[in-house]
Amino acid sequence: MAPPVTYDAIVIGGGHNGLVTAAYLARAGKKVLVLEKRPRVGGAAVTEEVFPGFKFTMFSYVVSLLRPEIIRDLDLPRHGLHVLPLESTVTPMENGDYLAAWGDHDETRRELYRHSPRDAEAYDEYGHLMHHMAHAVRPILAMVPPDPTSLDPRDLLALLRLGRHFRGLGAERLHALVKLMTMSSADFLDEWFETDVLKATKSASGIIGTFLGPRSPGTAYVLLHHYMGELDGVFRAWGFAKGGTGAISDAIAAAARSFGAEIRCDAAVARVLVKGGRATGVALENGDELSARVVVSGLDPRRTFLELVEERELPAEFVADIRRFKFRGSSGKVNVALDALPSFTCMPGVGRHHRGAISISPSLAHVERAYDDAKYGEFSRRPYMDIVFPSMIDPGMAPPGKHVMSVFVQYAPYHLNGGWTDAKREAFGDAVIDTIEGFAPGLKSHILHRQVLTPADIERITGLSEGNIFQGELTLQQLFFLRPAVGWAKFRTPVRSYYQCGAGTHPGGGIMGASGRLAALAVLGDGA
C-alpha cells in the first residue's frame, strides 16, 4: 500500500519566489511545505551579519520591483516589510565633476542643464515615453506566456490577444518598444542624449546581471525597469528594505507561515520522486522521503531539470534546450565594513549623496572596457560599480558611528581564465577598492573588513548556477515564452505535478516575486 500523501505541495528552495508560491498556495488553503538547504530562507535575498556588528545584504543590494499585487495579497507591511527610498544617484567623473540625479525632479533637471541644456530638454520627453512604455509592458509581466508553437485554441487566442495589446499601443509606442527590445542601451540613449556620463550611468542599469556591454544589442530593454517601480506608486524606482533584502524574504516567509505554510531550513532536497511520469514527492539529502500531490521547484532551470529529476523523465529536445540555457554569472559583490564614510573628490565630506547610490560609470567607454575584459575571460580591471551605504538609511546595519558599504560589481565572469582561486578573488577585490579609491582617496584607510564574493562564491553558497543572480541571463532569446524553453514557459514541466516557480521562468529576475505568484496561480488553476 502506498504511504499517505503528506502535503498538497512541496516547494523546493526558500528563495523569495519559492516563498511567494508557498504563501499563495497556503492562502488558498493548501497544506504546504517549503524546503531550504541553507540555515535561513531568502536564497540570494538574505541579510547576514558577516562581521560582528556589521550586517550585509549578502548578494543582492537594493529592492527593485516587488509586485504591488503581492505586497497587497500577502499583506507584507503587516509582516514587517518596510521600504526606505534610495533617493539619489551620483556619478563621480574622472575630471572631478559629477552627475547627480536627485529625488526632486526639478533639481535633477537643473543639474542636467549644467551638463547639457539640450539633454535637460530631452529628459522630460524621454521620461514621458518610458513611463508610457512601462505601462505598456506591465500587463505582459503579469501574464502567463502563451505557447507560440501550440495549435491549442487557448494559445492561439492568447497570442491573438497579445497581438491586439501591442497594436493597441499605437504606432509610436509600438516602435519604441521594438527599439527597446532590440537595441543596445548606448544606441538607444544616443538617440536622446549627448552627455556621455548620463548615457553611461543610465546604460549601466541595462547590463546588470547580463554578460553584455552597453553597446550590446538587447540591453536597452532593462532601461524600462527603472520606470516600472515608479508607476506602481508603491516604491520609488529603487529602494532599500529596512533590515536589508533579507527582511523582504523574512516578511514573505512570515506571511506564508500566517497562512499555515511550514518552512523547514537545513533541509536540502536530493531529488524529486517521479512515478509513472508524475512527481510524487521529494527525497532529502539525509535520506528522508516526503510525499506531496504537487512539487514546485524554485531553483534555477539547470538544477530543476538536470539535477533534481532523471534525464529519462524529460523529452530529449527539452533537455537540449535547458542545457543551452545561458547563465554566465557576470557580477560580484564586495561587502565592506568602514570606520567612517569615504569622502568623494567630487563631493567632499559626508552628504546626502551617501544616502543614495554612487555609480562608478564615469563614461560609456569605462563601462564598455570593463565588459571587454570579461568577454575574454578576465575580471574588469576597472569595473562598473553601484555602491550604497545601507547603514546611512538603516542605522541598525552597523555599530554606532561605523558603516557598511555594499558594492555591486560588474564584470566578474564565472568562467574566469584559469578558474577562480583565493588569490584571484583578492586581486578582484583589490581592483574594486583601487577603482573606488580613485574617486574617493583615503577610502582604504577606513576599511575594517572586506568580503569579496565572486560568481563562483555565489554559486557555492546559494546554489544559483554559475552565480547568475537572475537564474539565467535576461536576454531576448531567454524571455517570455522562451523562458526557460519554448513550450514550457507556463510554469508546468514535462513531468506531471512538477512545477517551476523561480526567476528562471517568465518574467525573470529583477522583478521580484512575479514568477512565484504566476506559478502558484498555475498550480491552483490545474486544480491541484
> Which residues contact another protein by CB under 8 A?
148-149, 151, 163, 166-167, 171-172, 174-175, 178-179, 181-184, 187, 191, 212, 215-218, 324, 326, 365, 368, 372, 375-376, 475-477, 481-482, 486-487
- Minimum Å gap between C-beta 130 and another protein is 16
- Coil vs helix vs strand at 169: coil
- Closer to another protein by Cβ: residue 376 or 419: 376
- Closer to another protein by Cβ: residue 264 or 369: 369
- Closer to another protein by Cβ: residue 184 or 195: 184
In the sheet that holds 447-453, the strands lie side by side as 98-101, 89-92, 357-360, 384-388, 403-410, 331-338, 447-453
| CA 397 from centroid of its chain's CA atoms | 22
- Closer to another protein by Cβ: residue 200 or 453: 200
Q: Cβ(352)–Cβ(313) under 8 Å? A: no
- Minimum Å gap between C-beta 306 and another protein is 17
Enumerate the β-bridge partners of residue 51.
54
* Positive/negative CA dihedral, 100, 104, 110, 116: positive
How many other β-carbons are positioned within 10 Å of the β-carbon of residue 140? 15
- Closer to another protein by Cβ: residue 78 or 375: 375
Q: Could you tell me which of 24, 151, 54, 102 has the C-alpha nearest to residue 357? A: 102
Residue type, 259: F
CA distance 232 to 241: 17
End-to-end CA distance of the chain: 22
Please give the full DSSP string across 482-519, using - where no structure is assigned.
GSSSTT--SSB-SSBTEEE-STTSTT-TTSTTHHHHHH
- Closer to another protein by Cβ: residue 8 or 147: 147
Residue type, 393: I
- Minimum Å gap between C-beta 299 and another protein is 23
Cell numbers 568580503: residue? 451
Length of the chain: 528
- Closer to another protein by Cβ: residue 394 or 473: 473
CA distance 208 to 194: 22
Q: CB-based contacts of 512: which residues, under 8 Å, 6+ apart? A: 16, 17, 45, 63, 64, 65, 66, 67, 70, 248
Peptide bond into 507 cis (omega under 30): yes
- Closer to another protein by Cβ: residue 154 or 375: 375
- Minimum Å gap between C-beta 383 and another protein is 18
- Minimum Å gap between C-beta 368 and another protein is 7
Task: Measure Cα distances from 246 to 14, 62, 82, 240, 505 in Å.
Answer: 12, 11, 12, 11, 22
- Minimum Å gap between C-beta 198 and another protein is 18
- Minimum Å gap between C-beta 115 and another protein is 21
- Minimum Å gap between C-beta 190 and another protein is 8
- Closer to another protein by Cβ: residue 108 or 468: 468
- Closer to another protein by Cβ: residue 275 or 376: 376
How many other β-carbons are positioned within 10 Å of the β-carbon of residue 487? 17
Cell numbers 535520506: residue? 287
How many other β-carbons are positioned within 10 Å of the β-carbon of residue 160? 11
- Minimum Å gap between C-beta 478 and another protein is 9
- Minimum Å gap between C-beta 365 and another protein is 7
CA distance 320 to 312: 13
